[in-house]
Amino acid sequence: MPAEQVVVKSSKTPGVVAEFAFDFGDNLPGATKKFGEDVVYSSFKQKAKTRLQDYIRSLIDAGKPTAEIVKLGIAWMPGVAAIRLPKDPKEKARALLAKLTPEERADLLKSLK
């Protein structure tokens, strides 16, 4: 597999873009050969832990009971789609309304009456 194109921007420095090709290896054995077993496992573990934490945060934010969160956390598997929780409609509406200007919010609320 050829090197992958990497494009990086920073919100702190608008207009600057770093773009280059980087060889991550063709597959797990290729990456392990190129970077070493410890580096590959460490990178996997770090990303998997972050994804697990994101999933658990979504359960906490959805108001799930702690016992259920722990059970789902223990059963979590990297790469397997997690249960998607429906958002509370009122909370979703509040979040969307917060993005509007005061004038837009007033117009919208007026139109709903």
User: Is 23 in the same domain as 40?
Assistant: no
> 2: pLDDT confidence band, cut at 50, 70 and 90?
confident
User: Is 40 in the same domain as 78?
Assistant: yes
User: Is 78 in the same domain as 50?
Assistant: yes
User: Is 46 in the same domain as 59?
Assistant: yes
CA 68 to chain centre: 21
Token pair recorded at residue 9: 């921007």
CA 111 to chain centre: 35
Name the domain count of the chain. Answer: 3
> Over 80: is that where the pLDDT of 87 sits?
no
User: Is 76 in the same domain as 41?
Assistant: yes
Task: State pTM to two decimals.
Answer: 0.63
Average pLDDT over residues 53-77: 93
> 53: pLDDT confidence band, cut at 50, 70 and 90?
very high
User: Is 68 in the same domain as 100?
Assistant: no
User: Is 10 in the same domain as 26?
Assistant: yes
User: Is 74 in the same domain as 101?
Assistant: no
User: Is 26 in the same domain as 40?
Assistant: no
Domain ranges, residue 73:
36-82
Distances (CA, A) of 27 to 3, 33, 43: 12, 10, 14
Residue whose pair of structure tokens reads 């420095």 in the numeric block = 13
User: Is 102 in the same domain as 112?
Assistant: yes
User: Is 30 in the same domain as 41?
Assistant: no
